Chains A and B, each alone.
Chain A
Amino acid sequence: MKSKFTTAVVTAIALAGPAMADLVVPNLSYRTGAYAANGIPYADGFNDYFTLLNERDGGIGGEIVQVPECETAYNTEKGVECYESTKGMGALAYNPLSTGITYQLIPKVTADGITLYTPGYGRTSAANGSVFEWVFNYPANYWDGASVAIKYLLDENGGDLAGKKVTLLYHNSAYGKEPIRTLQALSEKHGFELQAVPVDHPGQEQKSQWLQIRRDKPDYVLMWGWGVMNQVAIQEAVNIRYPMDHFIGIWWSGSENDVKPAGDGANGYKALTMHGTGMDYPIYADIQKYVVDAGKAAGAGDMVGTVLYSRGMYAAMVIAEAIRKGQEIHGTSAVNAAQVRDGFENLEITEERMAELGLPQFGPPFAASCTDHGGPGAAMIQQWDAAAGTWNSITGFIAPDDAVLDPLVAEDSAAFAAENNITPRCQ
């Protein structure tokens, strides 16, 4: 019985083998399952950027980039399957858009020597490059996000949050729990009162949580949500008439998907973001010309310019720049995974470079180093304008409070190093 299956599978996989050439950047995406609505635009943006490079510039440094897509459905087991099936193609970097899959891949990529790039998600302490050699999470991570949100609130309140009540509404999973420790440290420092309210997956029923918020009347609500939890939370906030401009989501709770179902009520809702959004960037003219009009757009092609599309494009841009840097350092266009890692580690994204790429002031400028895999951690606040249907940035990039974050990162990465017998590098 088993052998019959085996032969069948062997045939299928033998047929599926890709050509071993080009630069391979697999896209572990999810266009199905409970988080599909979030996964689709991200994957589209990621693919479209590489399509643009291939069509317009003939790839990176003359090498065509292949982006084999593999469906994970936000499921860790499928994530492992996808990783194993694509790594043999000569994959240069992974970007799985799932904190769960990231945790699983960290030991694997470290053993296999492939870069894992997790902008704005994944394991926060991977910002410490001396422990996590193969993992990069610049420009910002969850703890940066928590700190930026609090810093923004400090600015709003003339630098004093003492006695204020802040509620954190979080997805009851590894992802949602990430900011709690940071927020606790910040609440001690600034004297605000923190209350953490969990919402279980998938988060369709949040009546209890919002009744509690209505009773407690916190001054601010922060949200770490994903998927349907975002939509329901925003809808419930509208229902209890919570002032929307006091409701701030992390960057994963701030896309069009999340606010549109609540209609006009969502007007004024704020969210963090680590990159610009909207169509006001010169790159979109090229994307329209080389990708959309040429009929090569990923997916249905209707996501261009949305928040998550921009984020997927941003991730692709950083990976492409890292590959370019790797080519530059090693003087070869056909870089391998180790050379691309060097590119990631020496990557410097400047304002001028972003302008050249057609993305002026799209993200924060940063420079990575052997120890610093986390970037500056700066993020903007954007606000939803329901009438116009657009997100508007209302601040510039706000830097996080590194005095609070650095010890936390050091502590967590030291624990990981001890557990896994890693001797810190770069010293």
Chain B
Amino acid sequence: MPDQLVYAMEVTLNGLMAGVMYSLVALGFVLIFKASGIFNYAQGVLALFAALTLVGLQQGQVPFAHLINAVFGTDLHHFGWHLPAVVAIALTAGVMVLMAIAVEKLVLKHLVNQAPIILFMATIGLAYFLEGFGDVMWGADIKKLDVGLPQGISETIESVTADWFGYGFFIDNLDIVATVVAVALVTALTVFSQYSKQGRALRAVADDHQAALSVGISLRFIWVLVWSIAGFVALVAGIMWGTKSGVQFSLSLIALKALPVLMLGGFTSIPGAIVGGLIIGVGEKLFEFSIGPMIGGATENWFAYMLALLFLVFRPQGLFGERIIERV
């Protein structure tokens, strides 16, 4: 087989894997948008906050240590324990639920029935707030996140492909784990929303707030629920990306990689987030591989958006978005 074709296959496979990582972030956006019509700008910061909390809890950092030290002149740093990963993840999930409740009580409750742009704005305020809050709570230095996920080249795939094509493919073990987790997550979410009582209530709210209210579904409970789930998804995304690059401020910028995925897949569709992620992942990697070297590289950022734009011109509501019906 010609080399270029083999390389292209490798790039495609890696693109699929990268796409899954983008989808993980995009999922959180979709969940909240579907249930409450809010474009949650804070999703990226939520992932950062979750990852920070996870590392902090795991390593027994004293929250707000820096603030306390500055105000009271003490010298606190660590509690001196080291939690197992599972316990820390469970605790962090708990923190995310608490945060969902706080967001509902302090912010959303007061903004019922406002225009989407206002709610969007509120999430911007939330993003600013959490960004500062996370740093005050856990410090701004870079942290290593280790919950025992494997990382590095997958030897099996390398040797198998080397036998087949004479060139061993590179697939990151972490990406394989991410794919498995993403599949599990989507399955769980689908099962939850199709078969559980709360899940149905969630879909009812997503379809029509007023009608849902009139049959006795508590909007506020649903909002807490959906923000908790989004917080959990953010935690998963935070773990995956944090393992890759360490936990630090830049983690919140992964939201930017999720936006084209959302646009392409549609704001309201969970399968859309997955398929959109895959298309964007493969598209940008293949473009960088084939055209990138000719025009100077680093094309991935804008190409993802251009690709989404191209799709949108033909399907203005995204691939899986709800059809836009306009009446006068």
Contacts and interface: CB of A to CB of B under 8 A. Distances in A.
The reply, when asked whether chain A contacts chain B directly with Cβ atoms under 8 A, is yes
A306 to B, nearest CB: 11
B144 A205 contact: no
Contacts of A238: 152
B172 A208 contact: no
Contacts of A232: 244-245
Contacts of A302: 77
B285 A204 contact: no
Interface in B177-235: none
A227 B141 CA distance: 11
Given A208-B300, A261-B142, A34 B250 contact: yes
A358 interface: no
B301 A200 contact: yes
Contacts of B296: 198
B66 interface: yes
B120 interface: no
A241 interface: yes
Interface string A200-227: 1011110110011011000000000001
B151 A207 contact: no
Contacts of B7: 215
Contact of A231 (B245, B292, B301): B245
Contacts of A214: 170
A199 interface: yes
Given A208-B289, A232-B244, A202 B250 contact: yes
A208 B292 contact: yes
Interface in B242-284: 244-246, 248-251, 253-254, 257, 284
Given A228-B250, A231-B142, A261-B144, A200 B245 contact: no
Contacts of A239: 151-153, 170, 172
Interface in B1-21: 7, 10-11, 14, 17-18, 21
A24 B169 CA distance: 57
Given A33-B249, A261-B142, A207 B135 contact: no
Contacts of A203: 250
A72 B248 CA distance: 17
A37 B142 CA distance: 5
A248 B119 CA distance: 48
B288 interface: yes
A190 interface: no
Contacts of B285: 207-208, 211
B57 to A, nearest CB: 19
B151 A235 contact: yes
B153 A240 contact: yes
A261 B170 contact: no
B289 A205 contact: no
Nearest to B172: A239
A218 to B, nearest CB: 14
A164 interface: no
Interface in A16-56: 31-34, 36-37, 40
B255 to A, nearest CB: 11
A67 interface: no
B139 interface: yes
B125 interface: no
Contacts of B140: 31-32, 36-37, 40
A198 B69 CA distance: 41
A199 B298 contact: yes
B66 A300 contact: yes
Interface string A240-261: 1100000000000000010011
Point out which of A203, A227, A228 has the most chain B C-beta atoms below 10 A from its C-beta.
A228
Point out which of B144, B246, B250 has the most chain A C-beta atoms below 10 A from its C-beta.
B250
A211 B301 contact: no
Contacts of B166: none
11 contacts: A40-B141, A204-B244, A207-B172, A207-B285, A239-B151, A239-B153, A239-B170, A241-B152, A260-B144, A300-B66, A300-B77
Given A34-B248, A239-B152, A239-B172, 18 more contacts: A31-B140, A33-B249, A36-B140, A37-B141, A197-B297, A204-B244, A204-B245, A207-B285, A208-B289, A215-B7, A228-B245, A228-B250, A231-B142, A239-B170, A261-B245, A261-B246, A300-B66, A300-B141
Interface of B: 7, 10-11, 14, 17-18, 21, 66, 69, 73, 75, 77, 135, 139-142, 144, 151-153, 170, 172, 241, 244-246, 248-251, 253-254, 257, 284-285, 288-289, 292, 296-298, 300-301
